[in-house]
A and B are shown apart, each in its own frame.
Chain A
Amino acid sequence: MTVGRVLLYAALIAIAAIYIYPFLIQVVTSFKTDPDAASNAASLLPQTWTTAAYQKLFLTSDFPLWFKNSAIVTIFVTVGRVFFDSLAGYALARLHFRGRGAIFAGLVAVMSVPLVVLLIPKFLVINTLGIYDSYTGMILPLLVDAAGVFIMKNFFESIPVSVEEQARIDGAGTFRVFWSVVLPMATPALITIVILSFQGSWNELSHFIISTQSPQLTTLTKGVASLASGQLSQGTQYPLKLAAAAVMTIPVAVMFFIFQRRIMNSSEGAVKE
């Protein structure tokens, strides 16, 4: 090993440590007592291990409810996006119909609308439709995304037409061809959609702020944000907050590790064009 390589590894490991350390601190601190967290913030070993934060979180707070709401929304949004995005992506890639170009152009335009700009008006629309403060209002607006349609469209364009044509000649209808022939071939792209929608809806905050008000519909992001800004509690209570943050990270982390290879490759694909 040359000196250069030693330096390279040292640098890589040092940077990795900086990237991982905060998360270790997060988990460890959640097992500390309040005073311990305040006075030994950099230590990776609690003076006394306590699960008080988790007990409070799961037994005496609304945390389980928040978790449930996030899970419900995430599942519906993910399933919805996988289905609707691929359906539209397929139509744009394969079906020849008048207005296709217009739809495509419209989607490109829609994608450039920054979402924070929509906070106020999205609330007005949700409200007008009478779905404010309901699961419908939380889920429906997130059910499709233009970016997902693009990913699916591009994927469908990359696979050969011959198989579908055979099925069509055999007399299968358009939806049937899509559902039983094309979709099974699209697994890699679908996984990308699953990952993106899962992360997107699990981590979503602003949409839930404007679409709900009742405590029964609070999601993890909204609940933990209110914990953090001290609206629900007094004092600092860092172990409690960090425990909440750690638990809410688990599902996306699990997702990440399951599909790690896929995530890393999907973005490579993106640039390879």
Chain B
Amino acid sequence: MTTTTVMTKPRRAGFGGIRRGEAASGWLFTAPVLIILGVFLVIPVIMALWVSFSDWGGRGSPFSSDVHFVGLRNYSTILDGGGLAESDFGTALKNNVWYVIFVVPLQTALALALALLVNRTLLRGRGFFRTAYYFPSVTSSVAITVLWLFLFSTTGTVNQVLAWMGIKGPNWFNEPSGLIQNGLAVVGIHDGPAFLTRNSFLGVSFWDWLRGPSVAMFAFIVMAVFTTSGTFMLLFIAALQNLSPDIDEAAMMDGAGAWKRFWRVTLPQLRPTLFTVLTLGLIGCWQVFDQIYTGTQGNPAKTTLTPAYLSYQSAFQNQAWGQGAAIAFILFVIIVLFTLLQRWVLREKKVSRRRQLAYSPETAARAESKRAAQATGGGSR
């Protein structure tokens, strides 16, 4: 306590006496947040870590004496067990990787395109267009999934519109074939070369890894892009409005065309925002749960199974709590890696430490909580 006065030495003279009660108030004011986050976030993480190393079978407390430490057994079952648990995890990982590969670039590109379109100074109805593009982001993932199940049903809206164009649409949410697989089938390739079909990673053959997202997953990909592009569009609009027009004008004087100006002038200036959007997308896309729970439960043929849903399913449906927790932790590591990547990339900016500390978490906080709140394609809550 004696050091308090040293650490909190008031910057301005004359407040020494008034600041005396601040330590108590400070802890008191932050106590509710600390307790709730501690109990419902920090402790759960530690408990889950224990469960992932234990043989807890789902009855009573995981800390009771008849629950044993089993080392890495749950992890090795998932990563190297050679059984169903491994191939399920491999399948879920494969599905999610394809989801990320499609969603992240598409949503980023679309958000940027929308922002560029809407961000014209002389545009009439700017407010209307922004509102229209942003609205899908506020709806809940459950409501939007219900809508999607209808739009993409066999006789649904999408297929009827396709029929007007003379295209017979697929049975979206029941179609497990992969996009790349279908593309290859068109040119007559049905089976992969032996070195691809023979060798496997995580119980899934290389050939299966390369099939691409299933048609069903593609419907979810479209949904994610639809619901997240609005949020990211706002981030891009804000960044665009912050750009100094001078450079652009100078470039215009030099006779650079619009396309060239975008690539040479605008885009480099948008780099920080672009990285934020990309990493937020990367983080969010690994947490796909609501849509799967509501819509397909991993079907058809496990092609919409995601690690997040598999973790839930293993624990709550199949009593494999240790494996479920282990999957959750592997997912945790994946997401933390992307978070660190984001922090690292933003650190490149030449900002003072102080400002940067205030900057990056807040940007992330807002955008993340917005994403989360809107329960978009990526967020699970």
Task: List residues of A whose CB falls within 8 A of some B CB.
Answer: 8, 11-12, 15-16, 19-20, 22-23, 25-26, 29, 37-42, 84-85, 87-88, 90-92, 95-100, 103, 106-108, 110-122, 124-126, 128-129, 140-141, 143-151, 154, 157, 165, 168-169, 173-175, 178, 195-197, 199-200, 202-207, 209-210, 220-221, 224-225, 227-229, 236, 238, 241-242, 244-246, 248-249, 252-253, 255-256, 260, 263-264, 266-273
A26 to B156, CA, bound (A): 12
Task: Look across to chain B and name the residue whose beta carbon is closest to the beta carbon of A13.
Answer: B129
Contact between A272 and B238 (Cβ–Cβ < 8 Å)? yes
Contact between B366 and A273 (Cβ–Cβ < 8 Å)? no
A196 to B1, CA, bound (A): 38
Contact between B370 and A120 (Cβ–Cβ < 8 Å)? no
Contact between B308 and A116 (Cβ–Cβ < 8 Å)? yes
Knowing A39-B155, A115-B287, A117-B331 are in contact, say whether A249-B143 is a contact too (CB < 8 A): yes
Knowing A11-B117, A91-B26, A267-B238 are in contact, say whether A113-B160 is a contact too (CB < 8 A): no
Contact between B29 and A256 (Cβ–Cβ < 8 Å)? no
Interface size class of B (residues with CB under 8 A): 35 or more
Contact between A270 and B238 (Cβ–Cβ < 8 Å)? yes
Knowing A120-B315, A225-B142, A273-B363 are in contact, say whether A95-B131 is a contact too (CB < 8 A): no
A107 to B130, CA, bound (A): 33
* Interface of A, helix, strand, loop or mixed by DSSP: helix
Min C-beta distance of B357 to chain A, whole Å? 8
Interface mask (B362-375 → A, CB under 8 Å = 1, otherwise 0): 11111111101111
Q: Does B312 contact A (CB under 8 A)?
A: yes
Q: Which residues of B contact A42 (CB under 8 A)?
A: 157, 160-161, 164
Contact between B41 and A118 (Cβ–Cβ < 8 Å)? yes
Q: Which residues of A contact B380 (CB under 8 A)?
A: 114-116, 205-206
Q: Which residues of A contact B329 (CB under 8 A)?
A: 117
Known: A15-B114, A147-B366, A203-B139. 8 other contacts (CB 8 A): A12-B129, A91-B25, A245-B147, A249-B140, A252-B140, A253-B135, A266-B366, A270-B362
Return 7 A-B CB contacts under 8 Å, by A number: A87-B29, A117-B332, A125-B40, A129-B39, A140-B40, A242-B150, A273-B359
Q: Does B132 contact A (CB under 8 A)?
A: yes
Min C-beta distance of A82 to chain B, whole Å? 12
Task: Look across to chain A and name the residue whose beta carbon is closest to the beta carbon of B359.
Answer: A273
Given B131, B242, B325, which contacts A272 in the complex, CB threshold below 8 Å? Answer: B242
Contact between B146 and A242 (Cβ–Cβ < 8 Å)? yes
Knowing A119-B311, A200-B372, A270-B362 are in contact, say whether A96-B26 is a contact too (CB < 8 A): yes
Contact between A128 and B61 (Cβ–Cβ < 8 Å)? yes
